[in-house]
Amino acid sequence: MWEKKPVLFLLLATLTILVGTIITMVLPFAWVNTEADRIASVKPYTALQLAGRDVYIREGCNNCHTQTVRPLVAEVLRYGDYSKSGEFVYDRPHLWGSRRTGPDLARIGGKYPDAWHYQHMAAPTSMVPRSNMPAYAFLGLGLVDPAYTRKKMEVLDFPYQEADITALQGKSEMDALVAYLQKLGSDIPWRQAAQTIMVGELQNPYQSDSSVLEAGGALFAQHCAACHGDDMTGGIAADIHDLDLPDADLYEIIFNGIPDAGMPGFAALGPDRVWKLVTFVKYHKRH
């Protein structure tokens, strides 16, 4: 029947596509990105952070790293609550992405101290041995352009003081990029919300069990040595070779991290492997 009325068929097909497009791509703008979605604690980028964001885009970091936590159980457990539109109100353009060659960076801010980022950007495998990220040590040689950054702040209508622009003098692109990374996700209290509250008495199932030391040592080398040093005498993070803490307290620290000190939590390892880490670290205290 329709093959005999091609013009009518074409018009109906076009109408169907048009209605579908309006429903799925146009109407949603009526109820997203409104004032109701705004998150009061999310602030505009500072001049240094904005300069770093442009370095991030220029170097194509967004081609390998996404910046959105999807509403999937695995992602929420790893990165915290899923992303809300209010978190990106000052992102122009947004850098959500869809392909992850590297980890999502939506909540990377505050996960590590600045020193970790500097070292990681300069020599990624020194901090993450299995990383396939290229080195960006050269960013330490390029300087931020204060005048150009001022223009960008004005175009984007971000508030700034003249002192903020003056403070850019002598700042490297590496400084700016680290400032930008530390901004990501730091305006919302997601870490406090995601922190696990320990209930009941924690008992180390491997206390005095030397059979798990090898596994604990491997976990330490993979997740801890880059900051605490191979011999636990410190570096980016504290000296822990003589750490004197009850097993339960050390377990809680490793599990939840110390956000104020830039130590990430390792809940994703699971309780069994965290206890093996505890046993390995405490073994060095006793020997």
pLDDT in tens, 140-189: 999 999 999 999 999 999 999 999 999 999 999 999 999 999 999 999 88
CB-CB contact of 280 with 219 (8 Å): yes
Please give the structure tokens belonging to residue 59: 């170097």
Contact at 8 Å (CB) between 42 and 187? yes
Nearest to 51 by CA among 39, 40, 41, 59: 59
Lowest mean pLDDT among 91-105, 188-202, 227-241: 188-202
- State the pLDDT confidence band at 20, using cuts at 50, 70 and 90: very high
Partners of residue 143 on adjacent β-strands: 172
Q: Tally Cβ neighbours within 10 Å of residue 13.
A: 11
Look at residue 265 and give its three-state secondary structure.
Answer: coil
Model-level pTM greater than 0.85?
no
The answer to whether the beta carbons of residues 236 and 226 sit under 8 Å apart is: yes
* pLDDT in the model for residue 287: 61
Give the integer Cα–Cα distance in Å for 14 and 11.
Answer: 5
pLDDT of res. 33? 67
Q: What is the pLDDT of residue 243?
A: 83
